[in-house]
Structures are given as structure tokens and as C-alpha cells.
Amino acid sequence: MYFSGLWLIVTLELRQRVRGASWYVLLGVFMLLVGVVTFLLWLATSAWLAGGGGVFSTIIFFVLLLGTLVSPALSGNAINGDRDAGTLATTQVTLISTGQLVLGKFLAAWITALAFLAAALPFLIFAVVLGEVSFGTIAVSVLVLATELGAIAAVGVGLSGILTRPLFSIVLTYLVVAALSLGTLIAFALLGTATQQQATNVSYYVVSSTFDEATGEQSDIVCSTAETTTQNVPRFDYFWWILAANPYVVVADAAPGSFNDAGYPTDLFGQIAVGVRSAQSPPELYTEFNGCDEAAQSSRNDSGAFSGEAFDRGPTAQQTYDGAVPSWFIGLAMHLLLGAGALLWAWRRTRTPATHLPAGSRIA
């Protein structure tokens, strides 16, 4: 009985959303945009040679981008829009419970958002056919993307039940999406830049030496006194956790890392994940360079300064990725809690009989 009533609300909502031709026009424009982006990526990345990893990951992010732009407008007035139209009270006096009403509208909004993912499937399949896309990457990225779209739909439907004005709930849903997508990046950059610490570098240089042409070694090396320089470095490692709330970071960090033989990521997922995980590493606050020791140990045929092996190239991107802590599950849990909390609050505001109504609320 409960699920039949729930599905009734879902079907009614979906019929209202796809009743006009505008919905199909919107899907058509979406597919056209994804098609253009796929074609340009295919050319730009030489995907017929390098594989479809870059194309696949970019399409996933493009679907997430358009989903976050469209979903708030479709879900942000799900409940208060019916209240303004005078149809909400008509539904509430039936056997449909408040939970069925709120969950049904949420599921309808989620299915509507998933329609954009379904519309992008031909292009995702094309990217997979190009090769270099693992099954794990396909499954995890699509599943996490669908979950993120559901969380956004839940926030929109929840705010439509919390706020009385459809315009305010739609705008606030957009603000929530903007705060998660852009606000986290801005907060991370500003806080990391504002929090600085002094780093010290001590250097010793060769003032004079005797060079033996036969052996290629230096002797009688005279070193300079220690030259100390200081500079302020930002401490982004204090605030890397802020990026965990970004939906694009969640999708990228959740996808299994794909790297080439040189240790560099082969898709956009890996590039973003490496960038986020590298922010966890604190900067070196004390470094020392001793040119005298390197000059004494080097020779023309050895590995010293002539071959360049004395310079530390640092860890590869894959080593940085493997040595850091994944954060996607934290961000995903935050989004799910945010969506669930919004739906719960909407249920409390919509349930009948109402004990208290805000001023100006329409009853029937």
C-alpha cells in the first residue's frame, strides 16, 4: 500500500514534468552539447591513439555540471509550487501520507536528473569503445555521479518544503550548489593563502676549487659561508578537507586512479585526485643545499651535477596519489546527510494536521 501510493506520486510528478515539448527540447539541447564536447575532446586528446579515458571523465563532469544547473530549477519548487497552485492541499486530504508525498517528489526529481545521465550514455559508450577505461572507473564514476544528482535533488525538494516561496527555494538550492562547487574552492584558496608559515633555506656554494682534467674531480674546495633565506609559504595542508565537500572532487577521488608507465594520470579523474591529495602534504619548512659536498662527490662520468641525477625530482603523481588519504567518502556522506536532513525538515513542515503555519502560507 505504501509503495503504491509512493509510485503514484512519482508518476504524477513525471507526467507533469514531461507533459510539454520543452522537456524534450531541453534533453535535445543537452545531447547536442555533450556531442559537441565529445567530438572536440576526441580531436584535442587524439583519443583514437591515447584511449578514451580523458573523454569519458570529462563527459562525466559535464553531465554533473549540467545536472547541477538544471536540477535546482526542476526540484526547487516541487512542494511549494503545488502549494501556490492550490493543489497540495487536495493531495494531502487523500490517503497519501506526508512521507509518500515528499519521497515521491524526491524520486521524481532524481529520475528527472538521471534522464540527463541516460541521454549521455551513447557518448560514454563511445569513450569506452576507444579503450583505456577500466570497468572499475566506469562503475564507480557513474554510481557516484548518480548519487550526487540524487543528493542535489533531495536538497531542492527539501528546500521547497521548508520555504514557502518557490523563487526563494530555487535560488537557495542554486546557492547551496554554488557553495559546494565554487565556495569550497574559494574557501580553500583564501584560507590556505592567508595561513602562512616561514620556511628557511640554507645554501653552501663553491667559492673556489681545483679541477683535475684527468679524473674529472674537484679538489681543494673552498666553501662559502651559509647563506640563509626565508620566505612565507601557504599552509594548504591545514584546509585540504574543505575540498572533500566539492561534488566534482568526490567523483574524481572516488574513481580508481589510472596512471601510465611514467606515473602520470591518464584521465581527468586522476589529475583532480592527485591535485587534491597533494594538498595534504605539508611544505618543507627547512631545506639545505650543500654545493660543496655535491662538487666533491661528482665527476665528469659519475652521476653528479653533470647527469642531473643529484637533483631530487620528488615523488611521481602516482606516488602522491597512493601515499595520501582518500576523502571522497567524507564528502559523499556530507551530501547525503544534507539531502536527508532537508527531506526530513520538509516532511516536518508539510505534515498534516499542521500545528503552526508561517504567515502568508496558503492552505487550499
DSSP assignment string, 148-186 = HHHHHHHHHHHHHHH-S-HHHHHHHHHHHHHIIIIIHHH
Same domain, 135 and 216: no
Neighbours of 163 (CB within 10 A): 22
Cell numbers standing for residue 132: 583505456
362 in a structural domain: no
Same domain, 61 and 82: yes
Instruction: Please tell me the predicted confidence (pLDDT) of residue 243.
Output: 94
264 in a structural domain: yes
355 in a structural domain: no
Which of 286, 303, 322 is the last residue before a domain boundary?
322
Structural domain boundaries enclosing 47: 2-190+328-350
Same domain, 74 and 185: yes
Residue among 60, 65, 67 nearest 123 (CA): 60
Instruction: Please tell me the predicted confidence (pLDDT) of residue 146.
Output: 96
Strands (E), 214-327: 218-223, 227-234, 286-290
Cell numbers standing for residue 80: 511549494
- Rounded Cα distance, 49 and 51, in Å: 6
Which of 286, 304, 322 is the last residue before a domain boundary?
322
Do 149 and 110 meet the contact criterion of CB atoms below 8 Å apart?
yes
> Alpha helices, DSSP H only, in the chain?
2-17, 22-44, 47-50, 53-75, 80-85, 88-92, 98-119, 121-129, 135-162, 166-178, 184-194, 247-254, 268-278, 291-297, 317-322, 328-350
151 in a structural domain: yes
361 in a structural domain: no
Total number of domains constituting the chain? 2
Instruction: Please tell me the predicted confidence (pLDDT) of residue 305.
Output: 42
Same domain, 29 and 160: yes
Same domain, 170 and 121: yes
Same domain, 138 and 204: no
Q: Residue 275 half-sphere exposure, CB side, CA atoms within 13 Å?
A: 13
Same domain, 174 and 230: no
Same domain, 227 and 346: no
- Rounded Cα distance, 123 and 34, in Å: 8
Same domain, 274 and 126: no
359 in a structural domain: no
Instruction: Please tell me the predicted confidence (pLDDT) of residue 164.
Output: 85
Question: Which regions in the chain score pLDDT beneath 70?
Answer: 1, 19-20, 208-221, 294-313, 352-364
Do 174 and 75 meet the contact criterion of CB atoms below 8 Å apart?
no
Residues paired with 287 in a beta bridge: 201
Length of the chain: 364
User: Model confidence over 199-242: pLDDT tens digits?
Assistant: 888 887 777 666 666 666 666 667 777 788 888 889 999 999 99
Cell numbers standing for residue 12: 504524477
Same domain, 23 and 157: yes
360 in a structural domain: no
Cα–Cα separations (whole angstroms), residue 141 to 68, 77, 78: 16, 29, 28
Do 248 and 258 meet the contact criterion of CB atoms below 8 Å apart?
no
Cα–Cα separations (whole angstroms), residue 236 to 154, 167, 181: 32, 37, 18
Same domain, 182 and 36: yes
Model pTM greater than 0.75? yes
Same domain, 148 and 18: yes
Cα–Cα separations (whole angstroms), residue 124 to 28, 37, 70, 127: 16, 12, 20, 5
213 in a structural domain: yes
